[in-house]
Amino acid sequence: MSYDDESAKQLFMEAKRVYQDRGMMKWIGFYLSDHTAVLNKESKQRKQLYFDKGQMSMEAIGELLQVAYLQNKRVAIQLEALDSEGQFFPDLVGKISGQKEQQIFLNEEERGVLRFELEQIHHVELLGPKKILTPKD
């Protein structure tokens, strides 16, 4: 049997009207596991407190940033900013990719290149190389 465009369209519309798609029900298992993992990660992050590492002088900050840049080392930078509860945000971790006047460019490991003012830095710490996780046997 052959169908012209109009009869094929009518057949499709009839099938669409009769067919009961389960919609999101078929994806709910995937959604729940992914959603739960994200919620658990966010919960851990909210519970973690970041303490004041001590205000460093601009000279000490500048020296550490210069060493990190010249030796291509990772740094952890604590900014002056506080969250709504008066706690410090997590450190920015990455490698210094450049400087322009008072602006620092950090290639952050999770978010890519970030730019901020030298005056916003509260504390800088040189880090060792990033550990590579190996799968457990």
CATH number of the domain bearing residue 69: 2.30.30.100
Backbone dihedral region for residue 67 (phi beyond 0: left; psi -120 to 50: alpha; all else: beta): alpha
Specify the pLDDT at position 60. 93
Between 17 and 134, where is the model more confident?
17
What is the separation, in whole angstroms, between the first and last Cα of the chain? 59
59 is a domain residue: yes
17 is a domain residue: no
124 is a domain residue: yes
| Domain limits for position 107 | 55-129
pLDDT over 60 at 1, yes or no:
no
Specify the pLDDT at position 8. 76
65 is a domain residue: yes
Is 0.95 topped by the overall pTM?
A: no
Q: Is 128 helix (H, G, I), strand (E, B) or coil?
A: coil
Task: Pick the most confident of 5-14, 38-47, 81-90, 91-100.
Answer: 91-100
Specify the pLDDT at position 34. 73
* Burial grade of 80 (CB within 10 A; 0-12, 13-18, 19 or more): middle
Q: Which residues contact 30 (CB under 8 A, 6 or more apart)?
A: none
Number of independent structural domains in the chain: 1
Mean per-residue pLDDT, 118-137: 80
Encoded tokens for 121: 């830095």
Q: What is the C-alpha to C-alpha distance for residues 119 and 74, in angstroms, rounded to an integer? A: 20
Q: Are strands 121-127 and 112-117 parallel, antiparallel or unpaired?
A: unpaired
113 is a domain residue: yes
In which band, very low, low, confident or very high, does the pLDDT at 129 lie, cut at 50, 70 and 90? confident
96 is a domain residue: yes
Question: Mean pLDDT of all residues in the chain?
Answer: 82
CA angle 13, 14, 16 (to 5 degrees): 65
Phi, psi of 40 (to 5 degrees): -65, -40
136 is a domain residue: no
pLDDT over 60 at 137, yes or no:
no
In which band, very low, low, confident or very high, does the pLDDT at 29 lie, cut at 50, 70 and 90? low
